[in-house]
Amino acid sequence: MRAPDFDLLRRQMVRDQLVERGIRDPRVLEAMGKVRRHLFVSPEHQPEGYEDRPLPIGFGQTISQPYIVAYMIEQLQLPPEGKVLEVGTGSGYQAAVLAEMGARVYSVERLPALARQAGQRLRELGLRATEIHVGDGSGGWPEQAPFDGIVVAACAPRVPDALVKQLAEGGRMVIPIGEAFSQSLTLVERCPDRIRTETLCGCLFVPLVEERDDPLPG
């Protein structure tokens, strides 16, 4: 059986799943055209690595579909070399896209095994503008705040106050808000005189587990 042409599949992904669905930020499109998504899933799922759907990465977690990754990052409107907090490292794919765009990425993952695997993968790919911390993502990473952007890859019942406080002025956060089967991707922006929120679209993410919840094994 002939091996998939991953370069061709990645170009098709960018064209059909991103450009055709309205993603316009050239930095996002360029980065997602470079980062090899198939390397961020388990070997048995690599042939499916560029399909328009989430894929399992173990521990009950998934890698988001390419369009959602692109859309969330585009909504951040990051400045060049912006500083980003990612809540939910997962396999490291979103962090890789952000780093490829030139961002400085600080990523929090509650599962030590996923954090180790993602860190090793990012180092092997030469994407060293990333730091991964094992901990409760709902509390953010206050020691590294403020952030130009915060992207949360898990659903919370409400916007965590701790994350809002870690946004720089003009900074933007994209986070899924809601319950298990009723979620909305939400934009939170720190304006000079207020915190602005906007509902973007429906979505479906795994729940954001806070420190008081039982951790999964690592």
Give the type of residue at 206: V
pLDDT for the residue 216: 34
Sequence-ordered alpha helix ranges (H) in the chain: 6-12, 26-34, 66-76, 93-100, 112-124, 161-165
Token digits of residue 84:
């980003």
As a whole number of Å, the CA-based R_g of the chain is 16
pLDDT value, residue 111: 93
What DSSP state is assigned to residue 51?
S
CA distance 202 to 51: 20
The pLDDT assigned to 203 comes to 78
pLDDT per residue, tens digit, the chain (218 aa), is 678 999 999 999 999 999 999 999 999 999 999 999 999 998 899 999 999 999 989 887 889 999 999 999 999 999 999 999 999 999 999 999 999 999 999 999 999 999 999 999 999 999 988 999 999 998 999 999 999 999 998 888 899 999 999 999 999 999 999 887 888 899 999 999 999 999 898 777 777 876 544 433 33
The pLDDT of residue 88: 94
pLDDT of residue 1: 64
Out of 64, 91, 107, 138, the active site residue is 64
| Domain range annotation of the chain | 53-203
Q: State the pLDDT at residue 215.
A: 37
- CATH number, span 53-203: 3.40.50.150
For residue 107, indicate whether it is catalytic: no
Is the pTM of the predicted complex or chain greater than 0.85? yes
Convert the chain into a string of H (helix), E (strand) and C (coil).
CCCCCHHHHHHHHHHHHHHHHCCCCHHHHHHHHHCCHHHHCCHHHHHHCCCCCCEEEECCEEECCHHHHHHHHHHHCCCCCCEEEEECCCCCHHHHHHHHCCCEEEEEECCHHHHHHHHHHHHHCCCCCEEEEECCHHHCCHHHCCEEEEEECCEECCCCHHHHHCEEEEEEEEEEEEECCEEEEEEEEECCCCEEEEEEEEECCCECCCCCCCCCCC
